[in-house]
Amino acid sequence: MIRSAPVRDALFAVGGLVLLAALPLVFPGKAFSDFVIRLSAFAVYATSLNLLIGYGGMVSFGHGLFYGLGAYSFALLMQKAGASIPVAFASTILINGAVAAVIGAICIRLKEIYFSFLTLAFQMLLHSLIIAWTAVTGGDQGLTGGVPRPPFLGIRLDEPRHLYLFCCAVLVASLFVMRHLMQSPFGYTLRMIRDNPRRAAFLGIHVWRIRLLAFVVAGIFGGVGGMLISLFVSSAYPDFAYWTVSGEGVFMILLGGMGVFLGPLAGAAILLLLNDLVTRFTEHYSLVLGIVILLFALGLRKGVLGLVTDLWARRVAATKGGSSAATPAA
């Protein structure tokens, strides 16, 4: 049993990365590696949203803004400014952080429902800006001309194998950093604010500041997800900033279970599989997705991983002779 949580998480991360790197040996097809790359983008994005919803209790319905912003900033920096990949990556993180700070400062003082709606409204502002500003963004056609992938540090992202490994590494590193943040005093303060903001304020915590920090962190990692997808499709489309991205993010979290750190990852995988499966049979994906969402919302509420950990906790409790079925705390 390893006592130190950061060391354990780091071991998990290394193990996960090795596993992901080895998987193409078992599944050599392009379909598989493409799936993992798309999953890496959505998983980072969904996990970042869970920092707000699951850990912070701030139900953002406009998180897709950062996904779209990340994709467009990165693609534009690469295409128009000719930046190198690390520079574009770092600049996009700065842009996303700054935008998140401004929007967060406006939104986070508000009551729950206002917060959801206002974040959504800001996302639609970005979407309409992308559509309207044709000269820069290419309007509703999306960015044309492709995103160049110049080599850096010996990494050649135009090679599928390198791209795959790069996306896996970014996924694992992002998850590790977010996990570490959530296990830090900052993460526990955030949970405390979620559970009882007034009490947190009485204890001398700057509720507003912690929430804003969480909003900025989530905005940055939402942007990382967007960067990965724009690197993969070698473009950026207005759909990346459309409100449905936010809806999907919320659903991924709920699907996987927001009480578990890796829940959003599982939810992203399930939703992507569902998408690939359904679009093979019908073009009415949203109809099917809508029905699945309704079934879920009115039935299974804790998410798939939540259900698994619940059953697990019950088993553990049963073998220990305890009678209370423990629910996992986030």
Partner 1 sequence: MTQTTGGLISGMLLFLVAAGLSLIFGTLKVTNFMHGSLYMLGAYFAYTLYNLTGSYAAAVVGAALGVGLFALIFERLFMSRVYSADVLMQLLVCYGFILILDDAVKIIWGAEFLSMGMPAAFQRPPILLAGGVLPVFYLFLIGVTLLVALVLGYVLTKTRIGKIVRAAAINPTMTSALGINTALVYGGVFALGGLLAGLGGALAVPVRSLVSGMGFSILIESFIVTVIGGMGSVSGALVGALLIGLVRSFGTIGFPLFTEGLMFVFMTVILIVRPSGLFGRSAES
Task: Please report, as ranges, the residues that interact with partner 1 according to CB under 8 A.
Answer: 53, 59, 61, 106, 109-114, 116-118, 120-122, 124-125, 128-129, 132-133, 197, 243-244, 247, 250-251, 254, 284, 286-287, 289-294, 296-298, 301
Q: Can you tell me the distance from the alpha carbon of 288 to that of 290, in angstroms, rounded to the nearest whole number?
A: 5
Q: Can you tell me the distance from the alpha carbon of 128 to that of 17, in angstroms, rounded to the nearest whole number?
A: 38
Q: Can you tell me the distance from the alpha carbon of 319 to that of 323, in angstroms, rounded to the nearest whole number?
A: 10
Nearer to partner 1, 108 or 157 (CB): 108
Q: How far apart are the first and last CA of the chain?
A: 21
Q: Can you tell me the distance from the alpha carbon of 253 to that of 3, in angstroms, rounded to the nearest whole number?
A: 29
Nearer to partner 1, 24 or 238 (CB): 238
**Minimum CB–partner distance for residue 248 and partner 1 (Å):** 9
Residues in the chain: 330
Nearer to partner 1, 125 or 317 (CB): 125
8 A C-beta contact, residue 180 and residue 6 = yes
8 A C-beta contact, residue 256 and residue 248 = no
Nearer to partner 1, 16 or 247 (CB): 247
Distances (CA, A) of 34 to 29, 40, 125, 161, 276: 9, 10, 31, 11, 12
**Minimum CB–partner distance for residue 289 and partner 1 (Å):** 6
Nearer to partner 1, 131 or 155 (CB): 131
Q: Can you tell me the distance from the alpha carbon of 247 to that of 239, in angstroms, rounded to the nearest whole number?
A: 13
8 A C-beta contact, residue 9 and residue 178 = no
**Minimum CB–partner distance for residue 281 and partner 1 (Å):** 14
**Minimum CB–partner distance for residue 161 and partner 1 (Å):** 37
**Minimum CB–partner distance for residue 37 and partner 1 (Å):** 25
**Minimum CB–partner distance for residue 191 and partner 1 (Å):** 16
Q: Can you tell me the distance from the alpha carbon of 154 to that of 162, in angstroms, rounded to the nearest whole number?
A: 10
Nearer to partner 1, 129 or 308 (CB): 129
Q: Can you tell me the distance from the alpha carbon of 102 to that of 52, in angstroms, rounded to the nearest whole number?
A: 16
Nearer to partner 1, 94 or 113 (CB): 113
**Minimum CB–partner distance for residue 181 and partner 1 (Å):** 22
Q: Can you tell me the distance from the alpha carbon of 62 to that of 124, in angstroms, rounded to the nearest whole number?
A: 8
The neighbour count for residue 68, using CB atoms within 10 Å, is: 27
Nearer to partner 1, 227 or 254 (CB): 254
**Minimum CB–partner distance for residue 110 and partner 1 (Å):** 5
